[in-house]
Structure 1
């Protein structure tokens, strides 16, 4: 069954669309985060929150209507999406900040925060992938080919 899932995904135009949406979302969200922090002097938490608040809205809308062309009006799915983003965000950026403050404690807090934002993005992507796959948009055998 796993080979069939991979074959379905690799032959699908949706995979390319998903990658395009990911690139757009990453460029916009990351730009917002670093501009908010470094140019406007907003704090670590506000800057990273803006990234994922705005980025998540863009991601949800583009993936729903462009990638999957979904017409579903599933309120439960939206709630799960929001919960997943919040949990992944809090875990990723708390872990990143705490680890890098400990490791790089002799460096400036601005430098540590910038590195923490990058590290937090990596952790977020990993957590979000699994959260979306197994919690938000959980695929069952009976709906994968429909």
Structure 2
């Protein structure tokens, strides 16, 4: 951000884009060993990521505003939720055509 003289928003967006692309590639090729290569698979991945992110933000928001939890506790809860939903979504929705053999 500072070296490239980018705004925090542009830096954040760039980081998310690189993270999404890297996450898709690693999950496709390593975790789920999917042989399919389609726009449909990429679109399903995007849907799972957006859904997981909304659940993450919603949980953090509700935890801090309604349950009065510390943000230091709410953030890890949101992260666990995001990670779990993303894995499950990828396994049953995104890479469903693969055999889903993990750690072969």
TM-score normalised by structure 1 residue count: 0.48
Partner of 1:92: 56
Is structure 2 residue 92 aligned with structure 1 residue 134? Answer: yes
- 1:73 match: secondary structure: coil
Runs (4+) of structure 1 exceeding 3 A deviation are: 49-54
Q: In angstroms, what is the RMSD of aligned CA positions? A: 3.3
Runs of at least 5 residues in structure 1 that lack an aligned partner in the other structure: 1-41, 106-110
Partner of 2:44: 80
Taking a change above 3 Å as real, the CA distance of residues 88 and 51 of structure 1, as seen in their structure-2 partners, is farther
Which structure has more relative contact order (CA 8 Å, sep 6+)? It is 2
Runs of at least 5 residues in structure 2 that lack an aligned partner in the other structure: 1-7
Equivalent residue pairs, number: 90
CA offsets 1:44-67 (integer angstroms, 9 cap, x no match): xxx6x77754432211123334x2
CA distance in 1, matches of 2:83, 2:75: 12
CA offsets 1:100-125 (integer angstroms, 9 cap, x no match): 222337xxxxx62x443322111111
TM-score normalised by structure 2 residue count: 0.63
Instruction: Determine which structure has the larger helix proportion and give its number.
Output: 1
Whose Rg is larger?
Answer: 1
Partner of 1:116: 74
